[in-house]
Amino acid sequence: MPPVTLGVIILTSFIVALTVGARLRPRFVGQAPEILQPKRTFMLELGLCLFAGVLINAYNLIFYALPLVNTIAMMTGGAVAGFFIGLDSALARERYGIQKALSRDHTLPLPKRLFSMTRKFSFVALITALFVATVLAMVFARDIVWLTKIGQDDAAIAHAQMSVTSEIFFIMAVLMVLVVNLIISYSRNLKLLFNNETRVLEQVSQGDLSQKVPVATNDEFGLIAGHTNNMIDGLRHRIQLVTALKLAEELQQNLLPRQDPQVAGLDIAGTCIYCDETGGDYYDYFNLPDDRLGIVVADASDHGVGAAMHMTTVRAFLHFGIRNYHGPARLLTAVNTHATRDSSRTGHFMSVFFLEISTKSKSLRWVRAGHEPALVYDRAGNTFTELSGKGMVLGVDEAYRYEEISREGWNPGDIILIGTDGIHETRNENDQMFGQQRIHEIIQQHADASAKDINNNIINSVRNFRGKASQEDDVTLVVIKLL
């Protein structure tokens, strides 16, 4: 068959195949999920080239009755062409999807089925090697048949050697160009994916979580991109939580006294340090009738956000009840009634110590609702006593009635300390407890100092004792120096 005729047949067959492909591509490729479009493109291009090979063989068999070996050669050529054209088109489609995802910040879901890069490389390498071996085998077989038909003189043999060598080199060069083209095309895709991945990760490392990594492939890069996006979502959620906790911390700090009260005959200093952003400890001061002062220190069960919410509720009940104040016992009884209705099903409770001080009569009245007893230091006798008493924590028994205890008189220089268990239960790196004895020693050593200095010395001693160990509980302390 003349080469021109064969060329026309091949060209016509491929034109028909391209026409069919133009009709199939929008439906077979365009309507597929974006992550599957490269695979569909490869299948379509390979199928079109094989279809063109079938058309060529059908025409040759019908009109030229070519032998079967020519049919096999033509189908092999169509398969080789379809394989390389399909891969190149698939990579181009994948690159288009990557660029589209980058330009629109479009993120696909995590690939459900992973087609790893090693499998891709192995598949391409295996098929390429198989095609090279098949093509060379067919060339050698044809050349052997041809060599048996030429003359045996030196000129004919030299011409045959040159022809065979040139043919093999040409085939190898064509295959090499096709392989190099695939490598370059795939490298461009990898560069796009890698650059975008590193760009987003650099932004994340700098605190910018505004962008995600587009999931544009179903290989390791797509998997990494998907997990990176999950990480970014987690970081965004964490930042939202941290921001909310910071806001809650600011709000809760505003619920504590901004400054200690200035009362004639008293020197008062209070401190509250939470182990988390928020906590369940609370202290407050109340101006009561007849120039009396009310001091409350409370400790909600657990710590963190839940304890903070419970503390806020009890604080609201205290501020509401103080408007009709008729003594510590009636106040806490009313607060307990409301608190129990709100928290009895949650298991939350709150210990409270309420102290009423009258500087006119030099008297103390208090209620201990399951809280640590207040500590009283008698400066003259260098002794310690407690403001103790019975009383259940708030939030357990709605019908519980509290009883108040009173004490008359004090000596100038006496010190009252109301705190939470987070002070003496603080542990250091050796799991040793701070204890009450250290508190006694600090008060004795700084008995002449102001309430603020005593408060600071206790807090600093607790912090130094804890060392590198984490703070496990809230610490609240109110020091009252009786003048």
Structure tokens at 436: 């009450």
User: Judging by beta carbons within 10 Å of its beta carbon (0-12, 13-18, 19+), is residue 308 exposed, middle or buried?
Assistant: buried
Distance set, CA 231 to CA 103, 123, 163, 245, 456 (Å): 22, 32, 61, 21, 42
pLDDT (tens, 9 = 90+) of the chain, 483 residues, equals 566 776 777 788 878 888 888 888 888 888 888 778 888 998 998 888 888 888 877 877 777 777 666 677 778 878 888 888 888 898 888 888 878 777 765 565 666 677 777 787 888 888 888 887 887 777 777 767 666 666 666 676 677 677 777 877 887 888 888 888 888 888 888 888 888 888 888 888 888 888 888 777 778 777 888 888 888 888 888 887 777 767 766 776 778 898 999 999 999 999 999 887 777 889 999 999 999 999 999 998 877 777 788 888 899 999 999 999 999 999 999 999 999 988 767 778 999 999 999 999 999 999 999 999 999 999 999 999 999 998 999 999 999 999 999 999 999 999 999 999 999 999 999 999 999 999 999 999 999 999 999 999 999 999 999 999 988 888 999 999 998
What is the three-class DSSP state of 17? Answer: helix
Q: All domains of the chain, ordered by start, with CATH?
A: 3-235 (no CATH), 262-482 (3.60.40.10)
CA atoms within 13 A on the CB side of 337: 9
Structure tokens at 318: 């205290």
The answer to whether the beta carbons of residues 285 and 260 sit under 8 Å apart is yes
Asked whether the whole model's pTM tops 0.85, one would answer: no
Crossing angle between the packed helical segments 328-343 and 305-321, to the nearest 10 degrees: 140
Query: Which helix or strand (DSSP H or E) is residue 480 part of?
Result: strand 475-482
Q: Hey, CA dihedral for 337, 339, 340, 342, is it positive or negative? A: positive
The answer to whether the beta carbons of residues 406 and 356 sit under 8 Å apart is no
Q: How far apart are CA 346 and CA 169, in angstroms?
A: 84
